[in-house]
Amino acid sequence: MKLSDRLFRLSRLTATLALAGALSACASMPHTMAPVGSTAPKIATTPVNSPEAASARQADNLLAEGHDLAAAKDYIQAAAAVQGQKQLRYLLKAAQASLQGNRPQVAVLLADEVLRLQKGDNTLRGEALWVRAQGLMDQGQTPRAKGNLEELLTIASTPQSVRAKAMGTLATLYTQESHELTALNFLIERDSLLSGPAISKNHQRIHALLDSVSSARIQNWQGRSGNPLVQEWLAIALITRHNPDPEHRKAAIDAWLATHPGHPPINFSSHDELNVADTSAKSGGEICALLPSSGPYSGLSEAISAGMETAAQLQAGPAVKILQSTGNPSFTAVLFERGVKEGCQIFVGPWLPQDINAVAGVRKPSDPPVIALGSDAGVQQPGLYIFSLSRDVAARQIAQQSYAASYRQVYVLYPQDSSGASIQADFIQTWKKLGGNVAGVATYLPGHSLTGQAQQLLSGSSASHAFVFLVTNADNAEAAVTAIRAINSSIPIFSPALLHGASLPADASSLSGIASVDMPWIIQPNITRPRAATLLHTTLPNASATQWRMAAFGLDAYALAESILAKNFHQPIAGVTGTLHFGQEGHIGREMDWMKIENGAIVPLSGIPKTGP
């Protein structure tokens, strides 16, 4: 190689590493040149205690301790001291550590350099493409990520596990682009790469995708797909729709299979079978979700489970095992004891008060920890944690933070239903305990005019340190705010968890001035865990606003479970439902973010709005 060519390569690599200076100020990479006139270049040897080896060892240790960005810095330093394949391996490790440390731009930059310098090493190229695709996904550059993933699948040396993940991600991306048939092909081809519970989860994704499209589209796909496995899934999907009775459905499927002997048999599970948890496997080491599977809680439990499984996939942590209770406390206790025997490390759930009491009644001191998801059921024991899903948490936060911000007087307006009554009761109890004054309380019927109630509530003059505590949602907020503003145009209005979903009504101009505390997942959905949101949009394609909230609790419940297993009780967790911390008597605190409505749009706030002059 000419000297000028080598200097060009050196300068380019050095420039790349300089751009990664967010992690490290990297020295230029030396290229040892043979002396002019030398007839036999010396063989280079790397001392055992070379700077490169020391940096690499330190990087390995830092990575094992979870210090991802510091590890990336040392991997870069190790790469700067060597050449060839070893250099590329260190650069790839730095890229992977940068990705884990939430520096996707740096990860992509380093992966680009590996791709540029590698010469015919398909294994190395595949690994770099995988890191690059994940980094691009984290930055929202899905079209570029898709190209990397598709190239990854053409490389024969790509590990089966990575191939399966790439296919699952491509299915997500193609679904978002409304190319559902292409997504379906990826999910069905992915089936052969999976084993155990992962196959059932993949089947759930296939069912969810098929359930999201009409029968007419499925019939159209039958004429477009030449894959016999896809054809079989499509045929069975139509049979399932036309035969709601389980016995008739099974007979129809058997008849179809008998008349289509050329189709390979698929590992098909009906919707009925998918709704029954498999508790016979004894793989152990799982985080077990013990959740109700019937009645109004069924869809919500599904969303929590989906959030937990998404967290496990993204963090490569312990697997999630679903144990579905039926609403019978005795059976819930049996499921808990069965899970203990089968190796559950920790339980997320139960949820319902009667189930929490049932589990607490049979749980031994040596049994795994439990993260109960309901409100306090009156049970306290070591290893039992309470992670509340209720809006009461937001009510208490408003009381505490408004009092700390020098508010002293409050007017309470809430709807005439059990939920509204519970929320305002939690607020008033906390507010009075702090020393705050309740100037008035009024109720209203959702969907009705609030003028009379607001007039009654706000009669007389209010102090500068007063505010209205309004229990409402985005659908009913407009009428409430309009009525309040007609009487008092300037009094602050605070509402707990105003939004059901992550959007306001089409015309939210009359809501200006209302402030609320809510999940980061809801207030800033585009920047709060975008990779998790992308996966969940596929797992829960038709999720309601309430299910979307429950999925966020699933993500955070998994993070709490990992912290408890690691005995890390002092470090706050930056969750998607708020900042989480372990409090007294097993209670898990959750501090949410503030937002306000301004000109019909959501505006995140750094804290509670201050009192007036």
pLDDT-derived band at 18, boundaries 50, 70, 90: low
pLDDT-derived band at 377, boundaries 50, 70, 90: low
Instruction: Kindly state whether residues 363 and 407 are assigned to the same domain.
Output: no
Indicate whether 603 belongs to any domain.
no
Check whether 24 has a pLDDT greater than 50: no
Q: What digits encode the pLDDT tens for the residues 120-137?
A: 788 888 898 999 988 887
Q: What is the mean pLDDT of residues 20-47?
A: 39
Residue with more model confidence, 332 or 290? 290
CB contact set of 98 (below 8 Å; sequence gap of 6+): 20, 23, 68, 69, 72, 104, 106, 107, 110, 135
Instruction: Kindly state whether residues 256 and 305 are assigned to the same domain.
Output: no
What CATH number does residue 26 fall under?
Answer: 1.25.40
Indicate whether 170 belongs to any domain.
no
Q: What digits encode the pLDDT tens for the residues 506-545?
A: 677 778 889 999 999 989 888 888 889 989 988 888 888 8
Q: What digits encode the pLDDT tens for the residues 217-257?
A: 888 898 887 788 888 888 888 888 787 677 777 888 888 87
Model-level pTM? 0.56
For 7-10, the CB contacts below 8 A with 24+ separation are 9/117
pLDDT of 433: 95
Indicate whether 159 belongs to any domain.
no
pLDDT-derived band at 386, boundaries 50, 70, 90: very high
pLDDT of 554: 95
SS3 261: coil
The alpha helices in 328-472, defined as continuous H runs, are 329-341, 353-362, 392-404, 418-434, 451-457
The 3 state secondary structure assigned to 509-564 is HHHCCEEEEECHHHHCCCCCCHHHHHHHHHHCCCCCHHHHHHHHHHHHHHHHHHHH
Check whether 580 has a pLDDT greater than 90: yes
Q: How many domains does the chain have?
A: 4
Tokens, residue 501 = 């979903």
pLDDT of 376: 57
SS3 425: helix
Q: What digits encode the pLDDT tens for the residues 413-422?
A: 998 887 888 8
Indicate whether 13 belongs to any domain.
yes
Instruction: Kindly state whether residues 462 and 535 are assigned to the same domain.
Output: no
Order of strands, edge to edge, in the sheet holding 579-582? 573-574, 579-582, 588-591
CA atoms within a 13 Å half-sphere pointing along the CA-CB vector of 333 = 13
> Which one of 113, 137, 154 terminates a domain?
154
Instruction: Kindly state whether residues 396 and 485 are assigned to the same domain.
Output: yes
pLDDT of 203: 83
Tokens, residue 517 = 């505390």
Indicate whether 611 belongs to any domain.
no
Q: Burial letters for 431-460: b for 16+ Cβ neighbours within 10 Å, e otherwise? A: beeeebeebbebbbeeeeebeebbeebbee
pLDDT of 49: 55
> Which one of 274, 295, 317 terminates a domain?
274
Instruction: Kindly state whether residues 84 and 205 are assigned to the same domain.
Output: no
pLDDT-derived band at 470, boundaries 50, 70, 90: very high
Check whether 7 has a pLDDT greater than 50: no
Indicate whether 37 belongs to any domain.
no
pLDDT of 589: 92
pLDDT-derived band at 434, boundaries 50, 70, 90: very high
CB contact set of 282 (below 8 Å; sequence gap of 6+): 342, 343
* Angstrom distance (rounded) from CA 268 to CA 256: 13
The 3 state secondary structure assigned to 287-355 is EEEEEECCHHHHHHHHHHHHHHHHHHHHHCCCCEEEEEECCCHHHHHHHHHHHHHCCCCEEECCCCHHH
pLDDT of 612: 63
Mean pLDDT for the chain overall: 81
* Angstrom distance (rounded) from CA 348 to CA 550: 13
pLDDT of 43: 36
% of the chain residues with pLDDT over 70: 85
pLDDT of 2: 43
Q: What digits encode the pLDDT tens for the residues 255-296?
A: 887 887 777 666 554 443 333 333 333 345 689 999 988 777
> Which one of 430, 465, 490 terminates a domain?
490
Q: What is the mean pLDDT of residues 477-497?
A: 87
Instruction: Kindly state whether residues 331 and 410 are assigned to the same domain.
Output: no
* Angstrom distance (rounded) from CA 19 to CA 109: 8
Instruction: Kindly state whether residues 184 and 295 are assigned to the same domain.
Output: no
Check whether 576 has a pLDDT greater than 90: yes
Q: What is the mean pLDDT of residues 367-384?
A: 84
Instruction: Kindly state whether residues 354 and 416 are assigned to the same domain.
Output: no
Q: What digits encode the pLDDT tens for the residues 178-218?
A: 888 998 999 988 888 888 778 878 887 888 788 778 888 88
Instruction: Kindly state whether residues 485 and 564 are assigned to the same domain.
Output: no
Task: Please confirm whether the linkage preceding 261 is cis (ω < 30° from 0).
Answer: no
* Angstrom distance (rounded) from CA 29 to CA 10: 6
Q: Which of 17-21, 29-33, 564-568 has the lowest mean pLDDT?
A: 29-33
Instruction: Kindly state whether residues 128 and 78 are assigned to the same domain.
Output: yes
Q: What is the mean pLDDT of residues 451-460?
A: 77
Indicate whether 513 belongs to any domain.
no
Instruction: Kindly state whether residues 14 and 147 are assigned to the same domain.
Output: yes
Instruction: Kindly state whether residues 23 and 125 are assigned to the same domain.
Output: yes
Range of the domain at 421: 392-490
Check whether 410 has a pLDDT greater than 70: yes
SS3 472: coil
Indicate whether 587 belongs to any domain.
yes
What CATH number does residue 400 fall under?
Answer: 3.40.50.2300
pLDDT of 32: 35
